Structure 1
Amino acid sequence: MQFRYPEPKTTACVKFLSHRHASTVGLVSRDPKHLDDNCDGKGAQRESSIYSTRAPLQGIILGLLVPTLSSEEDDETVLEYLLHCFQQQAPRYQLKLLRKVFDPWKLDSGKKCCLSLFHPVIRPLCDWLIHWNMAEAAPVVPSDELLEWPKKDKRRFLHVVYRVGDLDRTIKFYTECFGMKLLRKRDIPEEKYSNAFLGFGPEETNFVVELTYNYGVDKYDIGTGFGHFAIATQDGGIITREPGPVKGGKSVIAFAKDPDGYIFELIQRGPTPEPLCQVMLRVGDLERSIKFYEKALGMKMVKKTDRPEYKRNMKTTVLELTYNYGVTEYTKGNAYAQVAISTDDVYKSAEVVNLVTKELGGKITRQPGPIPGLNTKITSFLDPDGWKTVLVDNEDFLKELHKEE
């Protein structure tokens, strides 16, 4: 059941038909003559970020990659930086880079050349280059055929990511009040954050929450756009709605607030394979959002209603979109981050999303490719209302889980 508001509203729930965090890295060239585009008028070096403009990228590649190869230095920092630089570029810029910079190595779909053997960090870059070479040579896939891909893809909700002010406090609350289990926890001091994964079952099969704590930040703004999570549990938290039946329905529900102010809908029901069953977000145009999630992600609308009474017996996680009449914009705050969804092909999935954004709005925020250091392939995008989704390669996700065990 959704929140009860004084204004009328319409809701829709969508689900799948079938079954991370990037950091900004700065690097200063050790030899200014190799990086003319990275120097000021006096020849002084200045820091270059992975989010720098696209114009100097060819100079960066020529200035760092080529000298590194020729001298056979084992400079992992340089290579990781180049890989991350390259991934930030739009495909058309990547193709230009291929033609202008990598033609001397005759890189094509049939020959990976010496680059792929040089260093493990450079292999993902080679694979990326080959992918776009093949994409350029291959015939254009018709839009209708491309839009069928999400429906055939193997997808499921992996986790929802949001920020908290005290990680240990939240872990204690979720485990004691909601009955969740701490699945894994990690601290990344060099990037000044920690995170923890909690849920009602293993990450390989269940939808879980990923809590992020940023060093020194103890409070976040949840905003007006985020609604609530829904779980099947019996007790816990500050009750913001007394337990009782849904108006016009038979489900017994209550609402609870966690220590950071996130609202959880508590649903009384029998055993279910997916207790963490819902994420509710508010949108400004319900029909547009339904089309976006159906076309871009291959989801299926399971219920649309003007009353909060849809049945609570679904055995999977759903994304609930709520439209409040007359409200077209909401504040996002800085607490809720994103939902992660699995895919068998981040590249093809990104193509579909890019196609749909041209029609309905939204944008790709991270081009498909491996995360430096992890090599887990992802892509991310914003929907027309600015809600973020990350698509994660299925095989890479499982490898990452097993690596941390």
Structure 2
Amino acid sequence: MVDQSQWKLNHTMLRIKDPKRSLEFYKLLGLSEVNKLEFPDNKFDLYFLAYDGPKSASTGNHWTDREGVIELTHNYGTESDDSFTVNNGNKDPGKGFGHICVSVDNIQAACKRIEDAGYKFQKKLTDGRMKSIAFALDPDGYWVEIISQKKVEDTKDITTTETSSYRMNHTMIRVKDVEKSMKFYQEVMGMQHVRTVEQKEAGFNLYFLGYGVDTSKDDQSTAVNPRAADEGLLELTWNYGTEKEEGQVYHNGNDQPQGFGHICVSVDDLQEACKFIESKNVNWKKKLTDGRMKNVAFVLDPDNYWIEVIQNERIKKSSDW
């Protein structure tokens, strides 16, 4: 019997060119390396980054017992390959994945700190109509949304920022048919629908889902986004009319050109969770019994995005990660 209340949206995987440059950027954002897996025979390494400070949401937890982890995948040699570039998910022919998002204490100070360190922005706070969000660019051109945990006007005169209070708030992917996607993520993956943002004039809606979210804490008076203090949310972006288009509309990040790889859910009992998911008549990229790695599975969502399923090692010891 599975207990989906214990499931977590554990991590988001991004392929990177140069781990040194990427780690410098994400550590500037306050993330710590909580695990590293090396696969020299297969010529790649995995870096797992999370907020692990005194004010973080899951300080000291095993990396599988967290939400909002970022997995950086480095294939050996790309750092010295001038022809190697990453698909950031925001331009054709690779449009699909949109961004990851970090929520911060004092957004003006946080953005200034990023800019002072020499990093570029896709959108600064002062750009466009929306003055409460920014998009920084990591070394591979991935978009990192910056949102505020407080009212923006309340922090405009504050010049300091404390990264230990930051959260890896959400991961955004674009979906073709929001009804099918919402049904999948709620009925198969057991997520709660916690927030909808309608942008009718712009022709799109945003749907936020997560695990174990206390919706009683929603308070529009304390933040631009009442879910800004959460970690491990999934944002589905639906552009009106895409559900009427033929075939696959969005790129899953794993076909060429590659970039974003997958999101990952850690579960209470890996074997039972996969049996439950199987009972929902889903499509698999990799079942537990496939290949050499018997401790991970990959299920496909309605847009063929990959969702890795792993064991939460705090609940049930199964691997020496």
TM-score (norm 2): 0.67
**C-alpha separation between the residues in 2 aligned to 1:381 and 1:205?**
20
Is contact 2:148–2:225 with CA below 8 Å preserved after alignment? no
Other-structure match for 1:53: none
Structure 1 vs Structure 2 CA RMSD:
3.1
Decide which of 195, 212, 221 is 2:87's aligned counterpart.
221
Other-structure match for 2:123: 241
Other-structure match for 1:210: 71
Other-structure match for 1:183: 34
Higher deviation after alignment, 186-195 or 378-387: 186-195
Letter in 2 for 1:366: K
Equivalent residues in 2 for 1:42-53 (5 A)? Answer: none
> How far did residue 245 of structure 1 move?
10
Letter in 2 for 1:164: I
Is contact 2:311–2:318 with CA below 8 Å preserved after alignment? no
1:107-152 residue CA offsets vs partner (Å, 9 max, x unmatched): xxxxxxxxxxxxxxxxxxxxxxxxxxxxxxxxxxxxxxx8xx454x
Higher deviation after alignment, 212-221 or 157-166: 212-221
> How far did residue 188 of structure 1 move?
2.1
Identity across matched positions, percent? 27
* More strand by percentage: 2
* SS of residue matched to 1:190: coil
**C-alpha separation between the residues in 1 aligned to 2:102 and 2:3?**
27
> How far did residue 352 of structure 1 move?
2.7
Decide which of 357, 363, 367 is 2:287's aligned counterpart.
367
Letter in 1 for 2:20: D
Q: Does 1:169 align with 2:21?
A: yes
**C-alpha separation between the residues in 2 aligned to 1:400 and 1:172?**
32
Q: Does 1:379 align with 2:245?
A: no
> How far did residue 396 of structure 1 move?
7.6
Other-structure match for 1:256: 136
> How far did residue 196 of structure 1 move?
1.2
**C-alpha separation between the residues in 1 aligned to 2:309 and 2:270?**
7
Q: How many residues align?
A: 246
Letter in 1 for 2:266: S
Letter in 2 for 1:284: K
Equivalent residues in 2 for 1:5-404 (5 A)? Answer: 149=2, 151=4, 153-176=5-28, 178-201=29-52, 202=60, 203=63, 204-217=65-78, 218-222=84-88, 223-233=94-104, 234-235=110-111, 236=114, 237-243=119-125, 252-269=132-149, 275-307=167-199, 311-327=226-242, 328=245, 329-333=249-253, 334-356=258-280, 358=281, 362-368=282-288, 372=292, 377-395=295-313, 399=317, 403=320
Other-structure match for 2:202: none
* SS of residue matched to 1:243: coil
**C-alpha separation between the residues in 2 aligned to 1:284 and 1:157?**
21
> How far did residue 346 of structure 1 move?
2.2
Is contact 2:149–2:225 with CA below 8 Å preserved after alignment? no
**C-alpha separation between the residues in 2 aligned to 1:252 and 1:312?**
14
The runs of 5 or more residues in structure 2 that have no matched partner are: 53-59, 79-83, 89-93, 105-109, 151-161, 200-205, 207-223
> How far did residue 173 of structure 1 move?
1.4
Is contact 1:228–1:281 with CA below 8 Å preserved after alignment? yes
1:67-100 residue CA offsets vs partner (Å, 9 max, x unmatched): xxxxxxxxxxxxxxxxxxxxxxxxxxxxxxxxxx
> How far did residue 400 of structure 1 move?
7.4
* SS of residue matched to 1:191: coil
Letter in 1 for 2:194: V
**C-alpha separation between the residues in 2 aligned to 1:288 and 1:383?**
9
Is contact 1:294–1:301 with CA below 8 Å preserved after alignment? yes
Query: CA 1:397–1:219 in 2, change beyond 3 Å: closer, same or farther?
Result: farther
> How far did residue 337 of structure 1 move?
0.8
Higher Rg of the two aligned structures: 1
**C-alpha separation between the residues in 1 aligned to 2:318 and 2:273?**
20
Query: CA 1:287–1:246 in 2, change beyond 3 Å: closer, same or farther?
Result: farther
TM-score (norm 1): 0.54
